[in-house]
Chain A
Amino acid sequence: MNLELYSSMFTLIQTAVLAVLLFLTIRLLLKNTGSLTAVFLSFSYSLWFLSVVYWLVYDILRPGIRMPFAANEFGEAAMLLMLAAALNSAVPHGSRAATKQVIGASVFAVFNVVLWIAWSGEWVQDIITGLVILWLMSSVACSLKVVHALSKTEWILLAVYSAVLIASQGLTFLFEDPVKTRIDIGCYVLISAGILYWLVKLFISYKRKDPAKKRMSLAVANMAWITAALFMSAGVFYIVYFNIETLIGVFVFLSARSVVNES
Chain B
Amino acid sequence: MIYSENIFVCMIVPVFVTLIFVKGNARRLELNFIIGMTACLLGAYISGFFNAVTGMGVEDTAIFISPVVEEGMKFLPLLFYFHMFEPDDDNIFLASVGIGAGFATYENVCYMVSSGAESLSYLLIRGLAVGVMHIVSVYASVFGLVIARKLKAMRISSMIGALSLSMLFHGTYNLLVSQPGITSYIGFAVPLLTAFAMLFAMKSLKKA
A89–B152 alpha-carbon span in the complex (Å): 12
A26–B200 alpha-carbon span in the complex (Å): 12
Tell which of B155, B172, B176 has the most Cβ of chain A within 10 Å: B172
Q: Are A82 and B171 in contact (CB under 8 A)?
A: no
Q: Which of B138-168 contact A (CB under 8 A)?
A: 144, 147-148, 151, 153, 155, 157-158, 160-165, 167-168
Q: Are B161 and A82 in contact (CB under 8 A)?
A: yes
Residues of B within 8 A of A50 (CB): 165, 168-169, 172
B residues contacting A by CB (< 8 A) are 54, 56, 60, 63-65, 67-68, 144, 147-148, 151, 153, 155, 157-158, 160-165, 167-172, 175-176, 178-179, 183, 201, 204-205, 208
Q: How far is the CB of A4 from chain B (nearest CB, A)?
A: 18
Contact with B along A30-42 (1 / 0, CB 8 A): 1101111001100
Given A26-B201, A30-B205, A43-B165, check contact A61 B172 (CB 8 Å). Answer: no
Residues of A within 8 A of B157 (CB): 40, 81-82, 84-85
A70–B168 alpha-carbon span in the complex (Å): 9
A129–B191 alpha-carbon span in the complex (Å): 28
Q: Are A78 and B164 in contact (CB under 8 A)?
A: yes
Task: Decide if the interface of chain A is mainly helix, strand, loop or mixed.
Answer: helix
Given A33-B205, A39-B151, A60-B183, check contact A75 B178 (CB 8 Å). Answer: no
Q: Are A57 and B60 in contact (CB under 8 A)?
A: no
A51–B162 alpha-carbon span in the complex (Å): 14
Residues of B within 8 A of A67 (CB): 64
A54 lies within 8 A of chain B by Cβ: yes
- CB nearest neighbor in A for B176: A57
